[in-house]
Chain A
């Protein structure tokens, strides 16, 4: 298991693995927003938590197809099926590796980008906390979507269509927690709901992802 994790991390951070692309995409989205809505500080501050959440979500989505694509192409996915490691564990490791190479950097980058959107000072802690709690769910759900479309040519667009509706609850609670925090309100409830969704998806979705992957490799 550890070997698989290390291998995936190495693949993910290697040049060409797409590490950094997600971060760059996040940066570009955030830079483009003021061009779209105008540079007024007040307006930007009001939408900053939502934009940062949305940007992180899209950056996460963009990097999903490489969870299985490389392994599918060189056949190591078939090896994974025949290995003694249960499929559910392998899928969870894959999701963890994706989170470590995509989700975590996004969380760390978000405060820096918050400055660009003039996020109020009180907003940083809730933003980081909500992203920290929410992005694992994005990775796990995304792994399910990637497993569904693994063998398909041009599966990327289809995967977006499948995964985005599944992201709705996470986005709602995450952005709500960040927004309430930025406005100085109590954000305990959305944070708890967000944590609940993350725990639930981590506990249950790997079974679905593993089942789907088995079907796809049949």
Chain B
């Protein structure tokens, strides 16, 4: 399954690892912040509606 990478295996694998980690971190942070802000906004709106 694994392709033969020869003597450059380290370089190829590490650049894939670095990029994928960075992309996943970016996506995870964006999604988490989106969820948090959405929940907080809902709460604030609910509270304001209740208080008139």
Would A and B touch once assembled, by the CB under 8 A criterion?
Answer: no
Binding site for B on A (CB under 8 A): none
